[in-house]
Amino acid sequence: MIERELLDFDNWSCPLPLRDNPTVVMGHGGGGQLSADLIKYLFLPAFDNPVLAQMGDAAVVTPGGPNGPRLAISTDSFTVTPLFFPGGDIGKLAVHGTVNDVAMVGARPLFLSVGFILEEGMPLDDLVRIAASMAAACRQAGVTIITGDTKVVDKGHGDGLYVNTTGIGLLATGLDISAGRARPGDVVIVSGDIGVHGIAILSIREGLQFETVVESDTAALHGLVAEMLDVTPDIHCLRDPTRGGLAAALNEIAAASSVGIELDETAVPVPPAVHAACEMLGLDPFYIANEGKLIAILPAEHAEAVLARMRAHPLGLRAAMVGTVKEAHPGMVVARTGIGGRRIVDMLVGEQLPRIC
Amino acid sequence: MIERELLDFDNWSCPLPLRDNPTVVMGHGGGGQLSADLIKYLFLPAFDNPVLAQMGDAAVVTPGGPNGPRLAISTDSFTVTPLFFPGGDIGKLAVHGTVNDVAMVGARPLFLSVGFILEEGMPLDDLVRIAASMAAACRQAGVTIITGDTKVVDKGHGDGLYVNTTGIGLLATGLDISAGRARPGDVVIVSGDIGVHGIAILSIREGLQFETVVESDTAALHGLVAEMLDVTPDIHCLRDPTRGGLAAALNEIAAASSVGIELDETAVPVPPAVHAACEMLGLDPFYIANEGKLIAILPAEHAEAVLARMRAHPLGLRAAMVGTVKEAHPGMVVARTGIGGRRIVDMLVGEQLPRIC
């Protein structure tokens, strides 16, 4: 009773967005538990169908009939602010983000559609720069923008521009990569330093200065995935840990596969600048967004060979084995800490950094 | 010199958005000449490739190789305001709009992706209603939402929600429907009353009262297209005249095919309420957006049979032959008026009604 009085439950205000909020809150777009709830309780029941229910980074369909080619389709809207940041811009991000989602089922990305929502008053010069950046990213990734749309909203009802990209990729036969395929005994690999994109955005947005400029890691990962699949097609899960970071991606896999995941915290590559920024700001690098990194879960027997091939690729130089899949604590991600303890790496309810992609 | 002084060229202000504006203006999203300029001078050079350059309502690709199925892909972002209007809402519009773009190359729409950009503070109940409306529109149209994405932007940086849909359809062999295929001697058919969607939006937005409530004509047109193609696969052009109305769609065809188009103004079905609203507001129904109408251009020999089949379909009851394709005045649309004159039906520079879809 004393505690109740001290905490003043009747007049408290919660620092997290309330989960029973009657309106949209920022956390609904954060890639954490609120995003998951919105999908689970609002969109999935409304749009009920088995393809959507698989909830992969990309959906797999065979529009030409069962013997036709398998296509991977993914869509993503980009609302990052600011539009330009160290290492990239919203256009580059919009190409890489969707290319990566298509690549995370093992498909080769081929085509993109682009939808622009421009805000009245946006400098056309900025749009020119962003279009050029998208074109360069497409050329480098070997994808083609085949169709597009442009809308303009009144000044004050946008943020310069929002971009939607939808990607179409071709999926080779024999591949079956999805969040539900992690098995006890599998290993968890991360392709390199985590937290870089999020800290790059945060630093420019908040005007933070670090000893070195942190540049976004935004990159197209399908080349790296192709190398990995060349070692073995028996890769169980792939995810690019964007919103919600490593923690959200691994929690989604643990839940979808009904397995436990144990991380070795000290094995996860966190660059010094990200570490320093997180210490200073009270953030956890496991929850920071990445745009050029992937997580792979695969049988232990292939781990060394896949890691070796990854480290020979420019985007996998610092690839590392960071954990294992367990039968214990299904649906839960646990980290062994540097001092020998264990902590639960839960999914955030909302988000640490809004508007990161 | 006197005129120059009277007009005061040095201090004039132009009622139309300036074409050499250094920033984005509303007209860049209006489907008129400014939209066309943005695409022609900014996006096409940046994203240069032959599929995009065809500028159809949908792009046609064969991701499985030359012998694989032909797919039609189209993307559209929806920023209509208000979100709910007589006869529909933004969700229904987002399904129909993209289904129709896919149908306008003769393809059967199969799958949709959906990207939501939600504004912080939007009532979740509205989102529930919109999702339910999209689901119903999908069921009715026989398409499936296979993948999606949700972002949230800060209060004041959206308008409740924006929706992007990207559609994938299957294109039968032998069909070649595009804006560049109109030939002298072809006839122009419109599937019914024009101007209804635009006036419905305008009436609710501006609080205008007419004798009868004008309801949006939003509808999925692929069933009607299938009927038409069942009469003859030899249809040259199809367009759904949305932003920019009948005028923009016909001007695009005239330009792409290097032909002249002559309209019989009195043959174009304009419902009395649209006519009255346009008279009152000084608008031209040829420029008002439609969401459940199509224009078809086809050889004269098939016209009667196609028209008869259209009139037997609920969405083509008031289909009419409204013009012919000429060798004269290539790239230009001309209307014969009720009193025997002729007027040029040009493309607008900007738009009459912003944020119509």
Do B337 and B208 have their domain in common? yes
Least confident of A295-299, B23-27, B134-138, B267-271: B23-27
Report yes or no on A7 lying in a domain: no
Note whether B78 and B201 are same-domain residues.
no
Give DSSP secondary structure letters for B113-166.
EEEEEEETT-BHHHHHHHHHHHHHHHHHHT-EEEEEEEEEE-TTSSSSEEEEEE
What dihedral do alpha carbons B348, B350, B356, B357 form, nearest 10°?
A: 90
- Give percent of chain B with pLDDT exceeding 70: 94
- Do A187 and A88 share a structural domain? no
How would residue B284 be classed by pLDDT, with cut points 50, 70 and 90?
very high
Strand partners, A112: A145, A167
Residues of chain A found within 8 Å of residue B43, distances taken between Cβ atoms: 131, 148, 150
pLDDT score recorded for residue A139: 97
CB-based burial label for B199 (10 Å; 0-12, 13-18, 19+): buried
The domain spanning residue A159 has which CATH number? 3.30.1330.10
Rounded CA-CA distance A88/A98 in Å is 15
Does residue B24 belong to any structural domain of this protein?
A: no
Q: Residue B144: inside a domain, yes or no?
A: yes
User: What is the per-residue pLDDT across A45-92, written as a single tens digit (0 to 9) for each?
Assistant: 999 899 998 888 899 999 988 889 999 999 999 999 999 999 999 999
Contact B115, B162 (CB under 8 A): no
- Most confidently predicted of A35-44, A98-107, B209-218: A98-107
Q: Which of A20-24, A303-307, B157-161, B197-201 has the lowest mean pLDDT?
A: A20-24
Is B23 close to A123, i.e. CB distance below 8 A?
yes
Structure confidence at residue B311 as a pLDDT band (50, 70, 90): very high
Cβ contact, residue pair B69, A71, below 8 Å: no
CB A96 within 8 A of CB A167: no
Whether B64 is in a domain gets the answer no
- Interface contact A77-B110, CB threshold 8 A: no
Residues of chain A neighbouring B48 (CB-CB closer than 8 A): 135
Establish if B127 touches chain A: CB-CB under 8 angstroms: yes
| Mutation target among B26, B67, B75, B240 for the A interface, most CBs of A within 10 A | B75
Tell me: do A165 and A200 sit in the same domain: no
Domain boundary among B142, B170, B198: B170
Choose the final residue of a domain: A173, A196, A221: A173
B20 shares contact with chain A (CB less than 8 Å): no
- Give yes or no: residues A123 and A200 share one domain: no
Contact A56, A101 (CB under 8 A): no
State the Cα–Cα distance between residues B336 and B27, nearest whole angstrom. 28
Average pLDDT, chain A: 92
Residue B44 counted as domain residue:
no
What's the gap in Å between the CA of A144 and the closest CA on chain B? Answer: 7
Q: pLDDT at residue A9 above 80?
A: no
Return the pLDDT at B18.
44
Whether the per-residue pLDDT at A6 is higher than 80: the answer is no
Give B5→chain A minimum CA distance, Å: 32
Which residues 30-89 of chain B have a CB within 8 Å of chain A?
30, 35, 38-39, 42-43, 46-49, 51-52, 58-59, 61, 63-65, 68-69, 71, 73-79
Tabulate helix, strand, coil % of chain B (nearest 5). Answer: 35, 25, 40
Contact of A199 with chain B, judged by CB distance below 8 Å, is answered with: no
Residues B289 and B246: beta-carbon distance below 8 Å: no
What's the whole-number mean pLDDT along residues A330-344?
Answer: 94
Last residue of a domain, one of B170, B192, B207: B170
Domain that holds residue A102: 69-173
Contact B64 A69 (CB under 8 A): yes
State the average pLDDT over residues A283-294: 96
Q: Kindly state whether residues A301 and A225 are assigned to the same domain.
A: yes
Interface contact flag, B113 A166, Cβ < 8 Å: yes
Closest CB from A52, A119, A164 relative to B164? A164
Residues A331 and A187 in one domain: yes
B123 touches chain A (CB under 8 A): yes
Residues near A132 by Cβ (< 8 Å), separated by ≥ 6? B46
Smallest CA–CA separation between A245 and chain B, in Å?
16
The model's confidence at residue B4, banded by pLDDT at 50, 70 and 90, is very low
CB–CB of B121 and A23 under 8 A?
yes
Query: Are the CB atoms for A348 and A248 separated by under 8 Å?
Result: yes
Residues in chain A closer than 8 A to B122 (CB atoms): 23-24
- Regarding whether B308 and B248 lie in a shared domain, the answer is yes
Mean of per-residue pLDDT scores for chain B: 92
Over range B177-201, report the average pLDDT: 97
Beta carbons of A159 and B153 less than 8 Å apart: yes
Which pLDDT score, from 0 to 100, does residue A249 have?
Answer: 96
List the structure tokens of A158.
């946008």
**Residue B114 contacts residue B107 (beta carbons within 8 Å):** no
| Candidates A42, A111, A135; nearest CB to B128 | A42
For residues B12 and B1, what is the distance between their CA atoms, to the nearest angstrom? 16
User: Angle B222-231/B300-311 helices, nearest 10 degrees?
Assistant: 130
Looking at the structure, tell me whether residues B128 and B192 fall in a common domain: no
Chain B, 162-191: which have a CB under 8 Å from a chain A CB? 162, 164, 166, 168-170
Contact B166 A162 (CB under 8 A): no
User: Minimal Cα–Cα distance from B90 to chain A, Å?
Assistant: 14
pLDDT of residue A19: 57
Preferred mutation among B77, B83, B171 to probe A, highest tally of A CBs within 10 A: B77
How far are the Cα atoms of A292, A294, A357, B73 from residue A224, in angstroms, in the given order?
Answer: 10, 9, 22, 27
Q: Report how far residue A93's alpha carbon sits from residue A104's, in angstroms, rounded to the nearest whole number.
A: 16
What pLDDT score was predicted for residue B266?
A: 96
The mean pLDDT value for A130-152 works out to 97
Interchain proximity A23–B122, CB inside 8 Å: yes
Return the pLDDT at A206.
81
pLDDT interval class at B19 (50, 70, 90):
low
Q: Is A132 on the interface with B (CB under 8 A)?
A: yes
Cα distance between residue B103 and residue B226, in whole Å: 9
Q: Which residues contact B144 (CB under 8 A, 6 or more apart)?
A: A49, A51, A52, B110, B111, B112, B138
* B124, A23 contact by CB (below 8 A): yes
β B84-85/B88-89 pair status = antiparallel
Is B29 close to A73, i.e. CB distance below 8 A?
A: no
A100 touches chain B (CB under 8 A): no
Query: What is the predicted pLDDT for the residue at A3?
Result: 42
CATH for B288: 3.90.650.10
DSSP state of A43: I
Q: How far is residue B178's CA from residue A324's CA, in Å, rounded to a whole number?
A: 54
| Bridge partners for B291 per DSSP | none
Q: Does position A251 have pLDDT exceeding 60, yes or no?
A: yes
In angstroms, the CA B9 to CA B273 distance is: 40
Residue B123: is the preceding peptide bond cis (ω within 30°)? Answer: no
Radius of gyration of chain A (CA): 20
CA A24 to chain centre: 21
* pLDDT of A337 above 50: yes
Mean predicted confidence (pLDDT) in A345-354: 83
Segment among A3-7, A55-59, B251-255, B315-319 with least mean pLDDT: A3-7
Sign of CA dihedral B150, B155, B161, B167: negative
Residue B220, Cβ neighbours under 10 Å: how many?
26
ipTM of the modeled complex: 0.93
Asked if A136 contacts A181 with a C-beta cutoff of 8 angstroms, the reply is no
Q: What is the mean pLDDT of residues B138-146?
A: 97
What is the C-alpha to C-alpha distance for residues B243 and B356, in angstroms, rounded to an integer? 7
Residue B45 resides in a domain: no
State residue A69's pLDDT score: 94
Flag whether B23 is in a domain.
Answer: no
Residue whose structure tokens are 């070796």 = A308
Give the total number of structural domains in chain B.
2
Question: Closest Cα of chain B to A106: distance in Å?
Answer: 15
DSSP state of A42: I
Residue B333 lies in a domain: yes
- Shared domain for B233 and B319, answered yes or no, is yes
Chain B positions in Cβ-Cβ contact with residue A48 (cut-off 8 Å): 135
Q: Domain check: are A336 and A281 in the same one? A: yes
Compute the distance between CA of residue B318 and CA of residue B49 in angstroms, rounded to an integer: 39
- Cross-chain Cβ contact B79/A135 below 8 Å: no
pLDDT at B2: 39
Q: How far is A311 from chain B, CA to nearest CA, in Å?
A: 31
In terms of domains, do A159 and A220 share one? Answer: no
CA distances, A212 to each of A207, A208, A276, B6 (Å): 14, 11, 11, 62
